[in-house]
A and B are shown apart, each in its own frame.
Chain A
Amino acid sequence: MDGGRNQSATGEEHAVQPIQLLAPDGTLTEDETYTPYVEALDESTLRDLYRSMVVERRVDAEATSLQRQGQLALWVQALGQEGAQAGTVTALRETDMIFPTYREHVMALHRGITPQQLLTQFRATAHSGWRPQDHRFNTYGIVLASQMLHATGWAMGAQRDAAAGDEAAREELVLACFGDGASSQGDVHESMVFASSYELPVLFFVQNNQWAISVPATTQSRGPLADRAAGYGFEGVRVDGNDVLASYAVAARMAEQVRGGGPKLIESVTYRMGAHTTADDPTKYRTADEVEEWGAKDPVARYSLWLRGRGLIDDAFVDAVEAEAKDLAADLRRSIHELTPVTLEENFDTVYAEPHRQIEVEKAWLRDYEAGFAEDSAAGGKGDA
């Protein structure tokens, strides 16, 4: 990697250039370390990478519209970050536990979470639309960086399971997702210190999308976020997050080393093309030129070019994926009304893994309390008119 400085408005004055295999024009460059990982991918996986990005992008757009139509309280767009997420999640095993932020929609769909389940929390009908264990994908962490401690704690548990003779745990990897904004949180520091001290199998994955709401990444960190890993005593790598192949290769290589080894950090340099959330207006703090510049580095466009060049996809395939995405979006629109609010009782059932006396007591009390209202309405609506 060269040490040249590339000054731009969006954080690329950092000295270390991110690893890139696939250029925005769709040309693939050779890299001694990483190319072998890409070459090992079979054709169906290569096509799935494309499909997962395109489908999520369509779901993302539908969810944004649904929010604008009053059907969701909030939506968090992943637009522009599909490559970083698709490449990384594909490099993991299905059994690896993922601790997401609230923007890892590509990863969630990849793990079999449905769009409806994904939207549940944003429609405020439940705290989470899925059970983490069913998908090895934790609930979305709304409190910035809280998931980092959960991830490190989970890895400590896995390490102990392994010490107790659990063979599966010996091979386990935990993916800890965070963003450039969260990188300033103390939780990230603590999670990295513990991961390093205990040599835990945590792959730290920061998507540097250049903006922490309205604060540029260059304000959060004067140097590359990847460099911070050195301070904790483990390796950090920068990758072009808009290059799905490099994202895959870097994650695959790092994952090998994390498994049974110690933590690593990937800084995925990408760009949030949309707003921070639907409650944000990015035109207030960034220029149209900047957005345009990053739009030209779109992860889907460049990957599509490359796949077509290799003859891996054709119009029929692209149309089929489009149709699949469109159907999924239409289903989502239809089914959004079917999401029913979680009952308070159900909330009690998910507090502890095992039956818990106090929770049972409180649940019974609540059931009785609620029943008090039902009796009132059965009595003929004798309200205080």
Chain B
Amino acid sequence: MVDTFNLPDVGEGLTEAEVVSWRVAVGDTVAVNDIVVEIETAKSLVELPVPFAGEVRELVVAEGETVEVGSPLIRIRAEGAGDDEDDEDDGAESATSAAGAGPGDGAGEPTSAAAASSSGSSAGSSAGSSAGASSDSGALIGSGPKADAPRRRPRTRHADLGLVDDSDLPPMPAPAGAPAGAAGQPRHGRDLAEMVAKASPPVRALAKRLGVAVWELVGSGREGQVTRDDVERRAQQKKAAPGEIPAEPTTPPEPTFNGKLRPEAEREERITVRGVRKATAANVTDMAQNVPHVSVFKEIDVSRTMEVRAALRQDPSYEGLSVSPMLFAAKAIIWAARRNPQINSSWHESHYVLKNYVNLGIAAATPRGLVVPVIHEAQTFSTRGLAAAITQLTVDAREGRTTPAEMQGGTLSITNIGPLGLDGGTPILPPGQSAIVALGQVRKKPWVVDGQVVPRDVMTIGGSFDHRLIDGEHAGRFITDVGSVLEEPGLLID
């Protein structure tokens, strides 16, 4: 038989540890309590004594590797035991299933292991986090005793309160206008409920005096305490409507699964706002509060652009470069900005500044959050140069290498929401800019060409503008110009 020693929780509530060094090798013979491995936990370096005697069959975890509590560390073949594969399988299985159950849970029985991991994860995958000690199998599974696994079985009924023999006690005065529901309820049951109800002695005394059953009340006080007001209100109600039957206390809805959206997560998670998220929050709050935004949209046929794109993709000089609809949109935006100077500008209360250059910001979703790197002097780039710049910038942004300088000085921005499957949106302007263009998804749609409905590549473009200096007319003309170029990329040929 092969025994498996799993990583125990050697501290108080540790979840993982790194294997620092093995003191034994495969083939060595060990005795119970021989030190076999040194591990490093969040707290300390710890030498682990092995709970089995025999021959080392396998060191499961390599030095330097970090594993979760409950994961197998080492397998030992008992002295004089057979060595067939079945034995080994049995050992591994018992370790896995036992790890899923808590002490006293019938650890080692596959059913209880499955019950303990009813949240949907397999017994194997839950082994690390919900490891418990086997209490009856005799196998040391190496994961400290834990609290019982939380019960997930639904309650089928409320506790019957008519349990306590209190016949030795003097009868309690029947509450005036006692609820009919209480008629069938044994007297002592109510008595118990009164004990369970949360009410201070003076409130209980008041309730008694007014003939109100404390247990009927839903406490409005702190932590559901029944207050003086609750009692008086109930007394008033009873006076107004004698014989009224209070509703049975309703059963709270049974939680589905473990009652969480994501079974593995905490009920609520508190996430500290920092870094990109913090900067984003500050920027959008400032802009949303201080800049009156206006948005416009336009649906356009970009089939010709897609043809050009297909052609460029075949062009060896574009090899390795991203030839996306965004490249053409960028070219179109630069072209349109030349014709609509008001768009490429910044507002300064007493004046506004028209920019005779385009520092094109490109909003990019990165693992760190939203960043808007900038292609400076974008108007000077050839189409290929722009493709190279966009490619480089997106790669840098995704890998988190965008430098702060690369995010400064934008005059006009693009946000590409097409990859998200979206058509339109109303983005918030980046600080210091007056226009941001949103690019929707390119998709085949029925389109009327020369009186015929034909499938065409269609895209919605739009965006948000600083309404203080960009009127609807400005925004409209600009978006229409951008659309014209995307509909007829030949316009780009100067």
Residues of A within 8 A of B (CB): 61-62, 65-74, 123-125, 278-281, 283-284, 333, 337, 339-341, 358, 360-361, 364-365, 367-369, 372-373, 375-377, 379, 383-384
Contacts and interface: CB of A to CB of B under 8 A. Distances in A.
A384 B256 contact: yes
B contact face: mostly helix, strand, loop, or mixed: loop
Contact of B156 (A124, A283, A372): A372
Nearest to B139: A337
Contact of B48 (A68, A372, A373): A68
A71 B145 contact: yes
Contacts of A361: 163-164, 192, 195
Given A70-B140, A71-B51, 7 more contacts: A69-B142, A71-B8, A73-B9, A339-B135, A365-B159, A365-B196, A372-B157
Contacts of B195: 358, 361
A70 B49 contact: no
A72 B11 CA distance: 10
28 contacts: A66-B51, A67-B144, A68-B8, A69-B49, A70-B8, A70-B10, A71-B133, A73-B9, A74-B12, A125-B103, A279-B11, A279-B43, A281-B46, A284-B44, A337-B134, A337-B135, A341-B104, A341-B148, A364-B163, A365-B161, A372-B157, A372-B158, A373-B151, A376-B155, A376-B156, A383-B152, A383-B153, A384-B254
Nearest to B142: A70
A69 B151 contact: no
B316 interface: no
Contacts of B50: 69
B48 A125 contact: no
Contacts of B200: none
B138 interface: yes
Contacts of B420: none
B492 interface: no
B340 interface: no
B359 interface: no
A contact face: mostly helix, strand, loop, or mixed: helix
B33 interface: yes
Contacts of B147: 124
B163 A279 contact: no
A372 B164 contact: no
Contacts of A379: 156
B43 A70 contact: no
B159 A68 contact: no
Contact of A67 (B10, B156, B163, B192): B10
Interface of B: 5-6, 8-12, 32-33, 43-51, 103-104, 118, 133-136, 138, 140-145, 147-148, 151-161, 163-164, 192, 195-196, 254, 256-257
Nearest to B152: A383
Contacts, number: 122
Name which of A280, A284, A360, A361 has the most chain B CB atoms within 10 A of its CB.
Answer: A361
A37 to B, nearest CB: 39
A248 B158 CA distance: 59
Nearest to A74: B12
B144 A73 contact: yes
A73 B43 contact: no
B103 A372 contact: no
A360 B192 CA distance: 11
Contacts of B32: 333
A72 B144 contact: yes
B12 A68 contact: no
A125 B254 CA distance: 31
Contacts of B158: 372
B140 A71 contact: yes
Contacts of B256: 384
A20 to B, nearest CB: 34
A272 B118 CA distance: 45
A284 B45 CA distance: 10
Contacts of B154: 376, 383-384
A124 B145 contact: yes
B155 A72 contact: no
Q: Top 6 nearest A-B pairs by Cβ distance?
A: A70-B8, A281-B44, A70-B142, A69-B51, A364-B163, A65-B49
Contacts of A68: 8, 10, 46-49
A142 to B, nearest CB: 12
A73 B48 CA distance: 15
Contacts of A61: 33
A379 B157 CA distance: 13
A368 B196 CA distance: 14
Contacts of A283: 44-45
Contacts of A72: 144-145
B45 A281 contact: yes
Contact of B10 (A278, A337, A376): A278
A279 B6 CA distance: 18
A368 B49 contact: no
Contact of A279 (B12, B140, B192): B12
Contacts of B48: 68-69
B104 A365 contact: no
Given A361-B192, A365-B159, A376-B156, A384 B45 contact: no
A365 B12 contact: no
B395 to A, nearest CB: 44
Contacts of B12: 73-74, 279
B16 to A, nearest CB: 14
B104 A340 contact: yes
B333 to A, nearest CB: 54
A230 to B, nearest CB: 39
A208 B221 CA distance: 49
A49 to B, nearest CB: 27
B145 A69 contact: no
Nearest to A370: B159
Contact of A377 (B43, B133, B153, B196): B153
A102 to B, nearest CB: 14
Contact of B8 (A69, A281, A369, A383): A69
Contact of A71 (B136, B144, B156): B144
A368 B256 CA distance: 24
A365 B5 CA distance: 41
B145 A125 contact: yes
A370 to B, nearest CB: 9
Contacts of A340: 104, 135
Contacts of A70: 6, 8-10, 133, 140-145
Contacts of B5: 69
A368 B164 CA distance: 11
Nearest to B134: A337
A304 B164 CA distance: 61
B145 A364 contact: no
